[in-house]
A and B are shown apart, each in its own frame.
Chain A
Amino acid sequence: MKGQQPPAGDLRLVDLTKRFGVFTAVDDLTLAVPQGSFFALLGASGCGKTTTLRMIAGLEQPTSGKVLLGEQDIAGLRPYRRPVNTVFQSYALFPHLDIHENVAFGLRRRGIRKVGDQVERMLALVQLEGYGRRRPAQLSGGQQQRVALARALINHPQVLLLDEPLGALDLKLRRQMQIELKRIQTEVGITFVHVTHDQEEAMTMADTVAVMNAGRIEQLGAPADIYEYPATAFVANFLGQSNLLAADAGGRAADDVLVTAHGARYSVPAGRARLTDGPAFLGVRPEKLHLADGPDRVPAGHQHVGGVVTDTSYVGVSTQYLVRTAWGSELSAFAANSGLGGRLAVGTAVTAHWDPRHAFLLPRAAGADDQTAPLLDGPPVGALP
């Protein structure tokens, strides 16, 4: 049985490309997913993440490139010959079979006769004991999702693919399932490749996140690393929010890169600068942008810009401010509702300041202006707990 085979090794995509007519969905993608890790492909809809997943599953043929599982190229194998299983976005449970038979489907197709014990164990793992005789239509969305998971996991695939499996669930259930999925992944030790457009989902669950945009990977790394030091302006604003000021980098001084933005001079540690010369974005995350009454109240070593509060929005754990600078950009700043310090009213003149060690410097297309995120309705990623 496949489940008892030794793990095949890492999943590697090499120069993987998929074109639909003139549209390139996945563009020369190369990445490696270490065996046993929880890997998230994060991107907006249409960025090629689902197409990538479907190529791993075999439901889509790559235009070129390889899908390597260990040393074997599985790109040419039909889906039913791959040691890979998928949890579909729509769950795709078989409506004519009960839950037990849905879960047993993969085992039976591989000619395994005695499936009862395995199915029971798997239903227990997803906490659906006693539901075996129900039909999928009799279960709630969350339960169906867990059946879909059990149906894939029971085959002990080398790689489990999850195609936005939590997309249809409401917020509370989604959080619950995120924790559940992570628990199961740790328990069974199978490589998970999870596709999602939900940055928080990716960050909560994955060991490694790849942020995709227009068929390419913009950045790949541990969630905290990507969040703290994004590689591109897209990543900086897709994974959480950022205040990106149009700046020009101009040389180094000791361990710092010097930048000029809107007539003022700033510095960024060289270790947090993606470039040392040319057009750049000076970035600061909103929660690392603090507000003070005036320039004289700014802590030593911090850098600052002046502005006026134009909007405040109270979201419980924090208060989010918009600060309009002298040149008209609106920076966002989050202040924790820790009970220290009062709230600032709209119209207050403030000085926004940050520790240069929290800033980062990204490449900027010449001519691009400031990029600042508007206030969100809910607490954004990385908002204070």
Chain B
Amino acid sequence: MSALAHVPASAGKPAPPPVRRGRSRLLPYLLLLPGAAWLLVFFALPLVQLASASLYDPSGSLTTGYAMTWAFGNYPDALQAYWPQFSRSFLYSAIALVLALLMGYPLAYAIAQKAGRWKNLLLVAVVAPMFTSFLVRTLAWKTILSDNGALVGLLRDVHLLGPDGRLLATPIAVVLGLTYNFLPFLVLPLYASLERLDPRLLEAASDLYASPLRAFAKVTLPLSMPGLIAGTLLFFIPATGDYINAELLGTPNEYMIGNVIDSAFLVRLDYPQGAALSFLLMAAILAIVFVYLRKAGTEEVL
């Protein structure tokens, strides 16, 4: 019987009637059509366009026009010019991710398992900042971190900051901004995973000689893995490409790759370089995601 246990239940049933109307067979494709068309026009075509722009002759300009010269050299040139911003992007978002995990995991766990009747209110509190614009929220952080603000004053008083130490326009401000702005993207999928965690499994673990710490490592953490993977990706990918936080809370010394791409397209009008940087960022993130999913195990996520 063990050999048969895996055969799907439908195997024994008679096949569905072979005669099917053409329309019903087409239905799934018809349902796909709007979304597919949208993706084609607004994602696939621009992507091709961007790819070709990244290979334009770099000596062209908007006024003189660009020539398609398969200039693969744009890629190493861009990387050479902007590798500090590249690595800074990954460094900042990695630090922000660690901070967000330290805050977000306990938060998601508390909401999912311990909040009781406050659960919905707390969830709203997590999402509520999203009701205002990303820009407005980041500008608010500018006020919070400002040199004359209460926070800096307090830190100076307890000598965590020097007498003229500051937070704004430092890497700390950018990382804090990234942490804050993308935290909900980490918390929500984690919450969804932890909410399904059966507390009786923790009782069972404790009954089977697992201390609270071991029970967390062996039961809670593995069972929250799908949410953890989804959450870290949803956090890390937009945080790496972000340019608002560095722009508003940092200085050119804190600029991330997003700022460079932004200025390539909108200030310097160097389209080939902007496109090449965009593709490099995309490739780097894809590579990281791929390795990460390979390591973390994907069966429950993808």
Contact across chains for A155 and B209 when beta carbons are under 8 A apart = yes
Closest chain B residue to A96, Cβ basis: B222
A92 — nearest CB in chain B belongs to which residue?
Answer: B204
**Which residues of chain A come closer than 8 Å to B222, judged between CB atoms?**
96
Q: How large is the interface on B (under 10, 10 to 19, 20 to 34, 35 or more residues)?
A: 20 to 34
The answer to whether B262 has its CB under 8 Å from any CB of chain A is no
Q: Which residues of A contact B198 (CB under 8 A)?
A: 90, 92
Interface string of B181-222 (1 = CB under 8 A from A): 000000000000000001011011111111100100011001
A59 contacts B by Cβ under 8 Å: yes
- Is the CB–CB distance between B5 and A138 below 8 Å? yes
Q: In whole Å, how far is A152's beta carbon from the nearest beta carbon of chain B?
A: 8
Indicate whether A299 reaches chain B with its CB closer than 8 angstroms.
no
The answer on a CB contact under 8 Å between B200 and A80 is no
Say yes or no: A79 contacts B207, CB within 8 Å: yes
Q: B64 contacts the other chain (Cβ, under 8 Å)? A: no
* A309 on the B face (CB < 8 A): no
Contact across chains for B205 and A105 when beta carbons are under 8 A apart: yes
**CA A86 to CA B203, docked complex, whole Å:** 10
Residues of A within 8 A of B218 (CB): 105, 109
Question: How distant is A199 from chain B, measured CB to nearest CB, in Å?
Answer: 26
B203 touches A109 (CB 8 A): no
Shortest CB-to-CB span from A98 to chain B, Å, is 12
Q: Does A57 contact B (CB under 8 A)?
A: yes
Indicate with 1 or 0, residue by residue over A256-289, a CB within 8 angstroms of chain B CB atoms. 0000000000000000000000000000000000
CB nearest to A154 among chain B residues: B208
A294 shortest CB reach to chain B, Å: 59
Report the Cα distance A88→B203, complex, angstroms.
Answer: 9
> Quick one: which of A150-177 are within 8 Å of B by CB?
151-152, 155
| Cross-interface CB contact of B208 among A90, A96, A109, cutoff 8 Å | A109
Contact across chains for A59 and B207 when beta carbons are under 8 A apart: yes
Q: Give CA–CA (A106, B200) in the complex, Å.
A: 16
Give the size of the chain A interface in residues (CB under 8 angstroms): 27
For A152, the chain B residues whose CB sits under 8 A away are 207-208
B132 at the interface (CB under 8 A from A): no
Cα distance A110–B68 in the bound complex, in angstroms = 67
Q: Report Cα–Cα, A347/B209, bound state, in Å.
A: 64
Counting chain A CB atoms within 10 Å of each CB, the highest count among B2, B204, B207, B209 belongs to B207
Q: Is A3 among interface residues, defined by CB-CB distance under 8 A? A: no
What are the residues of chain A within 8 A of B209 when measuring CB–CB? 80-81, 106, 109-110, 155
How near does chain B come to A51, taking the closest CB pair, in angstroms? 14
CB of A78 within 8 A of chain B? yes
A80 touches B210 (CB 8 A): yes
Residues of B with C-beta under 8 A to A85: 207-208
The one of B5, B207, B219, B225 in contact with A80, judged by C-beta atoms closer than 8 angstroms, is: B207
Q: Is A374 an interface residue (CB 8 A)?
A: no
Judge whether A94 is part of the interface by a CB distance below 8 angstroms. Answer: yes
Q: Does A130 contact B (CB under 8 A)?
A: yes
Residues 197 to 252 of chain B near chain A (Cβ within 8 Å) = 198, 200-201, 203-211, 214, 218-219, 222-223, 225
A90→B200 contact, CB < 8 A? yes
Query: What's the least CB distance linking B297 to chain A, in Å?
Result: 10
Q: Bound state CA distance, A343 and B195, in angstroms?
A: 60
Cα A162 to Cα B183 in complex, Å, equals 43
CA distance A80 to B209 in the complex (A): 4
B203 to chain A: which residues have CB within 8 Å?
59, 79, 88, 92
CA gap between A129 and B223 in the complex, in Å: 26
Cα distance, A216 to B225, chains bound together (Å): 44
Contact B214 A109 (CB under 8 A): yes
Give chain B residues whose Cβ lies under 8 Å from the Cβ of A151: 208
Closest Cβ of chain A: how far from B259's Cβ, in Å? 42
**Closest B residue, CB atoms, query A79:** B206
Closest CB in chain B relative to A5 CB, distance in Å: 14
CB proximity of B200 to chain A, nearest CB, Å: 5
Closest residue of A by beta carbon distance from B198: A92
Residue in B closest to A89 when the chains form the complex, CB atoms: B200
In the complex, what distance in Å separates the CA atom of A61 from the CA atom of B205? 17
Q: Which residues 77-123 in A have Cβ within 8 Å of B in the complex?
A: 78-81, 84-86, 88, 90, 92-96, 105-106, 109-110
The smallest beta-carbon distance between B62 and chain A, in angstroms, is 55
Bound CA–CA A95/B5 (angstroms) = 18
Once A92-B201, A131-B2 are accepted as A-B contacts, the answer to whether A155 and B223 lie under 8 Å apart by CB is: no
Residue interface bits B1-32, CB-to-A below 8 A is 1, else 0: 01001100000000000000000000000000
Complex Cα spacing A109 to B206, Å: 10
Instruction: Give A189 Cβ to nearest chain B Cβ, in Å.
Output: 21
| Complex contacts, A109 vs chain B, CB 8 Å | 205, 208-210, 214, 218
Q: Would A96 and B207 count as touching, CB distance under 8 A?
A: no
Closest A residue by C-beta to B196: A95
B contact residues around A96 at 8 Å (CB): 219, 222-223, 225
Task: Identify A94's interface contact among B201, B207, B214, CB under 8 A.
Answer: B201
CB distance from B225 to the nearest CB of A (A): 8
Residues in chain A near residue B5, CB distance under 8 A:
138
Given contacts A88-B200, A92-B198, A94-B201, contact A130 B206 (CB under 8 A): no
For residue B164, give the distance in angstroms from its CB to the closest CB of chain A.
52
Give bound CA distance, A193 to B206, whole Å. 19
CA distance A57 to B211 in the complex (A): 14
- Distance from B2 Cβ to chain A, minimum over Cβ atoms (Å): 6
CA distance A131 to B218 in the complex (A): 21
CB distance from B294 to the nearest CB of A (A): 18
Q: A57-B207, A86-B207, A92-B198 are in contact. List 7 more A-B contacts (CB 8 A).
A: A80-B210, A86-B204, A92-B200, A92-B204, A93-B204, A138-B5, A138-B6
Please name 20 pairs of A and B residues whose Cβ atoms are closer than 8 Å in the assembled complex, sorted by A. A78-B211, A79-B206, A80-B207, A80-B208, A80-B209, A80-B211, A86-B204, A92-B200, A92-B201, A92-B204, A94-B201, A96-B225, A105-B205, A109-B209, A109-B210, A110-B209, A130-B2, A138-B5, A138-B6, A152-B207
